[in-house]
Amino acid sequence: MKALYIKKGRLSFRKDYPEPKLKADEALVKVNLAGICSTDLELVKGYANFEGIPGHEFVGEVVKVKNSKDKKLIGRRVVSNINLGCGECEYCNVGIKEHCLNGKALGIIKKDGIFAEYVSLPVANIYTLTESVTDRQAVFVEPLAAALRISEVVKIPLKGKVAVLGPGRLGILISQVLSLTGVRLTLLGRIKESLNLPKKLGLGVGLIQDFKDKTFDLIVDATGSEGGLTNALRLIKPLGTIVVKSTYQGEVKLNFSKLVVDEITIIGSRCGPFLPAIELLAAGKIRTEELIEAEYPLKEGIKAFEHAARPGVKKILLKFL
């Protein structure tokens, strides 16, 4: 089958990659449409030392199952949780496969991803879609779930001041999701032009440099860059909380005494719940169409990755049909 492939930080297009073999409790999914995520770009830079097929944001159709009890899935449009638990560790035992100690992650850790014609997936990871969610919406289920995770890890200060740093794709999804809680928030960027799209979507926006120190009670850092946490530490109020949302290859410097003296909380947040994400998309509560920049066919995947890496670019999709 055709697939994109990463080896030693180099992306290539393969015409003859072997089709995945199904294990028990797995389904074979034909990929329809996929999104390129910042994590995919980091993988090409060497993040997680990944070798294999990248990609984890997608919608596809089940074409084959291993167990007869799963036959009803055939022909269904589906998305998939990206975390494959071992089923045996202390985290899997309590249903948190996101933190499986032997964890595999679709297209990120020890498991081929979805920038390929076919992918094998545990049936337990699959969520079926109704017609009310289009393919172009469905590719946003995974990042939208990640945005929803924030409400699971911190309390939302509805009377306080909340900022999201980074007016990129993830920052805009997060801002839309948090706005649904009723909180007043400001999506902050460093460049005026970067605020045009979120402003068009009705979000409150501002320039980071216009805000004084210790302004916000809760800050979500969706910049994916070293400067994000530095700005967040400047803008956060005493006793405030900073949620770090984007994986980033490398180390950041942290002002230790500021953290302690102002008793700041920094909390990492990653994958989130799929069902609420699907529901919100089906109900039309989240705008995604404006977040799409372009579609490329799979065979032009390398060009698509280059496009996705340009600063300020919106979501780049890979189309398989």
Interface residues with a copy of itself (CB under 8 A)?
47-48, 91, 96, 98-99, 101, 153, 214, 226, 229, 238-239, 244-270
Q: What SS3 state is found at 48?
A: helix
**Min dist. Cβ of residue 271 to a copy of itself (A):** 9
For a copy of itself, the closer CB: 101 or 275 = 101
For a copy of itself, the closer CB: 125 or 137 = 125
**Min dist. Cβ of residue 259 to a copy of itself (A):** 4
Count of CB atoms situated within 10 Å of the CB of 239: 10
**Min dist. Cβ of residue 182 to a copy of itself (A):** 22
**Min dist. Cβ of residue 210 to a copy of itself (A):** 19
Half-sphere exposure of 238 (CA within 13 A, CB side): 4
Strands 77-80 and 57-65: antiparallel
3-class DSSP string for 146-189:
HHHHHHHHCCCCCCCCEEEECCCHHHHHHHHHHHCCCCCEEEEE
**Token pair of 298 as six digits:** 């799979």
**Min dist. Cβ of residue 230 to a copy of itself (A):** 10
For a copy of itself, the closer CB: 83 or 125 = 83
For a copy of itself, the closer CB: 77 or 245 = 245
**Min dist. Cβ of residue 201 to a copy of itself (A):** 25
Question: Do 189 and 216 meet the contact criterion of CB atoms below 8 Å apart?
Answer: no
Strands 292-297 and 315-319: parallel
Phi, psi dihedral angles at 215 (to 5 degrees):
-100, -35
For a copy of itself, the closer CB: 41 or 205 = 41
For a copy of itself, the closer CB: 163 or 264 = 264
